[in-house]
Chains A and B, each alone.
Chain A
Amino acid sequence: MSVLVNKDTKVLIQGLGKTGRFHTDNAFAYGTNMVGAVHPSRAGETESFSGDTDHSGVQGRADRYAAELPIFRSVVEAADATGANASVVYVPPPFAADAIMEAGEAGIPLIICITEGIPVADMVIAKRYLADRDVRLVGPNCPGVITPQECKIGIMPGYIHTPGKIGVISRSGTLTYEAVHQLTLSGLGQTTAIGIGGDPVNGTNFVDCLSLFNGDPETEGVIMIGEIGGTAEEEAAEWIKANMTKPVAGFIAGTSAPPGKRMGHAGAIISGRKGTAEAKIEALEAAGVVVAPTPSDMGTAMSEAMRAANS
């Protein structure tokens, strides 16, 4: 078991430009079941992919892969023809919100948007549009979602992951890799790693992911990586206190960040007295989360949380 994606996930790609192509190639190498692409002006064509298999991905495959990815003119047509149950969006920022809404209208149950730089107002509209539909958006501005050796959707390096027992949730890309790497080294591994993204308006939040991992029998613990800005971590802390049955570790980036400055991510900003790292750490610790004092201690914080839960 795992959450959101597994070996049965059939993935569409929206936005087959240079970046989209590059990461689709990596997904094929990893063994992700890519089933189609959406590109209005190239409908009816196929896109060829081939190369060396990434053996850190889906096991038991030949050393080389070769695939012809069919291209459709709309998400509805692509979904009908392929039975896709997930879509990954690499569409450029001005058009990305529309791509998300199109996937939502087609009823794709899992929409993962990698694109960074989507106008907030567009995401407010897109999120409102999806609210009436039975679909889930992950991101935008995120590395994606991976279940090691089953399905990799997004831009994360596959080989640092290893199947295991920890669910990973993060607002940051490279910090997720840092946590995953430490979990791999410590032997805990990951069930699924979810990048929820660094934007102020995102589809899936910490609470959604905590709830998913809480219900996943294979996940034995969760690490959540937050940062300054907003109150999503505080809301997660409340939820953990009331509902979580599994040990949780955490890390919050931005204890040294000055107020009023946007630290790279659109959502990473301390506004007035809101969104400080201190408030988030305090809330998480009050909910029993083991918060790593530095990003180098995320793996050990997780081990500590596991030990404390089992003693």
Chain B
Amino acid sequence: MKIHEYQAKALMKDAGIPVPAGVMVTTPDEASAAAATLVAETGNPVVVVKSQIHAGGRGKGRFIEYPELGGVSVVLDGIEGGVEATRAKVAQLASEMLGSTLVTVQTGPEGKTVNRLYIEQGIDIATELYLSVLLDRSTSRNIVMASTEGGTEIEVVAEETPDKILREEIDPAFGLRDFQAARISYALGFKGAAVRSGMKFLKTLTQAAVDLDADMVEINPLVVATDGTVMALDGKMSFEENALFRHPDIVALRDPSEEDPAEATAKEYGLSFIKLDGTIGCMVNGAGLAMATMDIIKYVGGEPANFLDVGGGADKDQIVAAFKIITADPNVRGIFVNIFGGIMRCDTIAEGVVAAVHEVGLEVPLVVRLEGTNVELGKQIINESGLNVVSAEDMKDGAVKIVELSK
């Protein structure tokens, strides 16, 4: 689960990690007032206006409505014009950014609507560093990744200058130890007071990642303020879905406007659904088989419209819900149901499909492939239903048929 930068920074602040002062706003008036408060509190005439969307690359991103405007704007007007100049500029930026569409390398060409802004205190930056805490799947342990090449995408650093990335493995039985935190601090070039501040930062951050069940914490850039305080200038956090049951406070941070409505509906019914751009709707049991079904549709020349795993024990209601979600997509020109019954019996699926078609209607071709437990019974139910359903012998046969029928 993803959250916004301002939410991540609030969580970091709660954990004792230094972050710049800031206020989340949703209107130009709030933005202007927040800027005045920040200038008064910090004595710094510089503020930053940051778009809050669930995608990276905001600084280099541009608005469709204002092609000159970036997703993050530093407001310097207050240096000479005083707080009123700051307020006016922030209000103007906010009125342009709010409700507009920001396109970054991660949003896709359609971009994302900006509904929230974070007005933040400006910070003098000497150097931009990089820090993240994430799971290393090959060792099954969290690692700290640190680099002096902040401000750049870490994937780029990893490819071009891999020796500039330091990895420190955390033994889950002991956590990040002092000597490890010191090693990272030295590697990042911290000196004097910054070494101590950096070590504290690292230990607090790695512990917070565990306590909050964050599957990724990324701070890019990490900066050293003039007084030697190591500070998170940006903050990205995402949380592991399996652990959300023990973090109701984090679940409350969910921003529904950032989620695909069909994916959210699917989740309510216990279905795993991901919207894609193609024309063949898929309904499958099992995540691996669902992925493989998309692959085979593509292999035979079609494009899948979705990933949909109904799970191992779907009932009729879930199958009806799945059908509704698939058919609600106007791009769908055909549906492929691919089931390998194990615990899930083919007759249950067949009954669900028949009920769903009766309830939802069927305006596109439907190909059903059933295999496994009670397959004969399942086929019989489909055949006797009188519905216009095409049966498939196996996966490839089904994929070929649905791609052909939906042309």
Contacts and interface: CB of A to CB of B under 8 A. Distances in A.
Given A93-B242, A155-B343, A227 B171 contact: no
Interface string A137-168: 00000010000000000011100100000000
Q: Which of A155, A251, A255 has the most CB of B within 10 A?
A: A255
Nearest to B296: A294
Contacts of B397: 296
Contact of B274 (A160, A235, A263): A263
B237 interface: no
B243 A258 contact: no
Nearest to A235: B138
Contact of B396 (A120, A172, A296): A296
A264 B291 contact: yes
A101 to B, nearest CB: 12
Contact of B140 (A127, A258, A294): A127
A251 B307 CA distance: 18
Interface in A112-127: 117-125, 127
B240 A120 contact: yes
B298 A295 contact: no
Contacts of B243: 119-122
Contacts of A201: 135, 137, 140
B50 to A, nearest CB: 21
B125 interface: no
Interface in A190-242: 198, 200-201, 225, 227-232, 235
Contact of A174 (B141, B276, B286): B286
A222 to B, nearest CB: 18
Contact of A265 (B140, B285, B287): B287
B329 to A, nearest CB: 16
Given A157-B342, A181-B371, A264-B272, A121 B294 contact: no
B47 to A, nearest CB: 31
Interface stretch (A34-42, A58-66, A266-274): A266-274
Contacts of B342: 143, 155-157, 173-174, 177
A199 B294 CA distance: 21
A124 B140 contact: yes
Nearest to B288: A172
Given A119-B213, A266-B242, A295-B395, A198 B137 contact: no
B138 A264 contact: no
**Interface size classification for chain B:** 35 or more
A83 interface: no
A89 to B, nearest CB: 15
Interface string B354-391: 00000000000000000111000000000000000000
B242 A263 contact: no
Contacts of B246: 94, 119
A188 B284 CA distance: 27
Given A170-B288, A268-B287, A124 B141 contact: yes
Greatest chain A CB density within 10 A among B154, B294, B312, B340 is at B340
A178 B172 contact: no
> Which one of A178, A257, A277, A293 has the highest number of Cβ atoms from chain B below 10 Å of its Cβ?
A178
Residue among B154, B284, B287, B288 with max Cβ neighbours from chain A (10 Å) = B288
A157 B341 contact: yes
Contacts of A173: 286-289, 312, 342
B140 A251 contact: no
B328 interface: no
Contacts of A94: 245-246
B286 A128 contact: no
Interface in B247-305: 272, 274, 276, 284-299, 304
B404 interface: no
Contacts of B372: 157, 160, 177, 181
B340 A256 contact: no
A113 B27 CA distance: 50
B137 A175 contact: no
A253 interface: yes
A176 B287 CA distance: 11
A294 B292 CA distance: 8
B299 A294 contact: yes
Contact of A267 (B137, B371, B399): B137
A109 interface: no
B288 A294 contact: no
Given A119-B213, A254-B291, A255-B295, A264 B137 contact: no
A307 interface: no
Residue of B141, B292, B373, B397 with most partner-chain A CB within 10 A: B292
A261 B274 contact: yes
A175 B289 contact: yes
A124 B274 contact: no
A171 interface: yes
B210 interface: yes
Interface string A288-311: 000001111100000000000000
Interface of A: 93-94, 117-125, 127-128, 143, 155-157, 160, 170-178, 181, 198, 200-201, 225, 227-232, 235, 251, 253-258, 260-268, 272-273, 277, 293-297
9 contacts: A124-B172, A172-B287, A173-B289, A174-B285, A178-B395, A263-B290, A295-B292, A295-B395, A296-B395
For the complex of A and B, the 7 pairs showing the least CB-CB separation, nearest first, are A172-B288, A264-B287, A174-B286, A119-B243, A175-B288, A296-B396, A174-B289
Given A173-B342, A265-B287, 11 more contacts: A93-B242, A93-B245, A119-B242, A157-B372, A172-B291, A178-B340, A201-B135, A228-B291, A256-B298, A264-B309, A294-B399
Interface of B: 106, 135, 137-138, 140-142, 154-155, 159, 171-173, 210, 213, 215, 240-243, 245-246, 272, 274, 276, 284-299, 304, 307, 309, 312, 340-343, 371-373, 394-397, 399
